[in-house]
Amino acid sequence: MNAVVSAKHLRKTYGKQVAVDGISFDIPSGRIVGLIGPNGSGKTTTLKAILGLTSYEGELSVLGLNPHTQRDDLMEEICFIADVAILPSWLKVKDAVDFVEGVHPKFNREKAQRFLAKTKLTPEMKVKSMSKGMVVQLHLALVMAIDAKLLVLDEPTLGLDILYRKQFYQDLLEDYFDQNKTIIITTHQVEEVEHILTDLLFIQNGKISLSASMEEVEQRFIEVAVSPMHVEQALALHPVDQRTMFGKNVMLFDGVGADILQALGELRRPSVADLFVATMKGAK
């Protein structure tokens, strides 16, 4: 399968500030990719380049199109949510649904209404009178009803309460995602998305610090709660990170076999958040 997004030496500078520093990556079809990085890492700039919202240097192809010069064609196939609630205050729920149905050939009205039925939104309600979470719910209902090949979600659940966040990711997986679709998600609440991700892309200071599928990650990275007597032995294997938890040394290993580590203590799967923190430290 062709790559949905393919970047080669993608670079973007704002004046002297380098936001994205010549990164290359491929995102195949049918994946859910978590693009994870701290604020100012170049995450949002990368997404904006993919969405044709900004100019860039290097090569970038999204669904075989150049997002900057062929944006109008591309927008029929991709959809996105940016990081803040951005629906205009005068928009009514029913007008929003009518409008998107009118301009988007791949919008499914029933689907949107099904998502809206799960919320407290009513057709006559204006964005002005909604809580922040309700605006996000409306936006998500609209976007999830579009049958896009690529969906980009930049902090999609900001302002939503925990119940609805869980519901959203469940809907995303069950009602939206299929093998022909690709989703790119950025979020600060990594723990909420890690179970649905198929791929990880860590970005830091405009560079990619990790690009791997979840299977690869599981094979490569193992966390060990090292028993006190094995600490020296464990350190000799060069853990990429270590911390203490309940008096135990918890160490993270990259590329060390489970058979070797088993002897040192209890093995566990590291969370994406721990992994991220570890790679961040490593880069410093």
Partner 1 sequence: MKQLTTLKWLLKREIWENKVMLIWSNLVLAGLILLFTLSGIFRLKDVAMNTDPQTTLQMNDLATAVDHYFTSGLILFSILMVFTVYSYATGSLSDERKDRSILFWKSLPISDELTVLSKVIVALILFPLMGIITLLLTSLISIFALCASYAVHGVGLSSLVFSSHGIWGQIGHTLKSFPIYVAWALPTVGWMILASSWVKSRPGMWVILIPFALFVCAAFANDAVGVNFARDVAYVLLFRAIFSVVPDSWSYHYYLNEYGNTLSFPDAIQHVLLKVDLSSWDIFATPDLWIGVIVGITMLFTAARIRRGRGD
Given the rule CB under 8 A, which residues bind partner 1?
Answer: 48, 51, 53-55, 71-72, 75-76, 79-82, 84, 86-92, 95, 98-100, 102-105, 139, 143
Least Cβ distance, residue 215 to partner 1 (angstroms): 32
> Residues 92, 86, 196, 205: what is their CA dihedral angle, to the nearest 10 degrees?
180
- For partner 1, the closer of residues 82 and 231 by Cβ is 82
Least Cβ distance, residue 204 to partner 1 (angstroms): 22
Length of the chain: 284
- For partner 1, the closer of residues 160 and 234 by Cβ is 160
Least Cβ distance, residue 25 to partner 1 (angstroms): 20
Rounded Cα gap, residues 29 and 3, in angstroms: 6
- For partner 1, the closer of residues 91 and 212 by Cβ is 91
Quote the tokens at residue 249: 């040394």
- For partner 1, the closer of residues 5 and 190 by Cβ is 5
- For partner 1, the closer of residues 101 and 212 by Cβ is 101
Least Cβ distance, residue 252 to partner 1 (angstroms): 36
Q: How many CB atoms lie within 10 A of CB 54?
A: 18
From residue 73, alpha-carbon distances to 14, 45, 150 in Å are 27, 21, 13
Rounded Cα gap, residues 277 and 259, in angstroms: 25
Cβ distance 35 to 47 under 8 Å? yes
Cβ distance 198 to 33 under 8 Å? yes
Least Cβ distance, residue 77 to partner 1 (angstroms): 9
